[in-house]
Amino acid sequence: MLMIRKAAIGDVEAIKSIINAHAKKGLMLPRATYEVYETIRDFYVAQENRKVIGCCAIHIYGREYKDNTITEHVLGELRSLAVLPANQGNDVGTELVEYAISDVKSIGITKVFTLTYVKDFFKKMKFWEIKRHELPQKIWSDCKGCIKFPDECDETAMVREI
């Protein structure tokens, strides 16, 4: 039976392993063990038969600024969404995203964005495409480790109001 929950320290190695398997395929940035520990409170895991089969995180950025003005939105970034290959196509990713969004909505996040190679999945999840330059500048600090940053980035920026 599938269970979605907040991640715990005991999940760090499984989260890192799932993310880094996808990173080897060029689908996301790799994560070091220390990075997963530092951000463990951002993570959610999908567990089946006591095994972590998927993960995602929502990193909170705070108030949205547009044109040097604070908007009514509080931003979070959905990141590190990954599901073991054997469990893909079984709505695990969908359930992870919905659980995570519901959780951060309860603390006041009103808008979630993501950078993705899987536009169709996020369109089904009620996200819509935006231009990358519309995202806050501070989100790019994580991207500086990517060999495609900044000029060859081919991820699509998407957003969803919640």
Domains along the sequence of the chain with CATH: 2-161 (3.40.630.30)
Q: CA separation (Å) from 43 to 82, 91, 132, 152, 160?
A: 11, 18, 24, 28, 19
The pLDDT of residue 133 is: 77
Per-residue pLDDT tens digits for 62-119: 888 777 788 889 999 999 999 999 999 999 999 999 999 999 999 999 999 999 989 9
pTM of the model: 0.90
Q: Would residue 30 be called left, alpha or beta, if left means φ above 0 and alpha means ψ between -120 and 50 degrees? A: beta
CB 61 within 8 A of CB 112: no
The pLDDT of residue 138 is: 57
CB 85 within 8 A of CB 22: no
Burial (Cβ within 10 Å: 0-12, 13-18, ≥19) of residue 114: buried
Which band of pLDDT confidence, cut at 50, 70 and 90, is reported for residue 43? very high
Query: What does the alpha-carbon distance between residue 104 and residue 116 come to, in Å, rounded to a whole number?
Result: 20
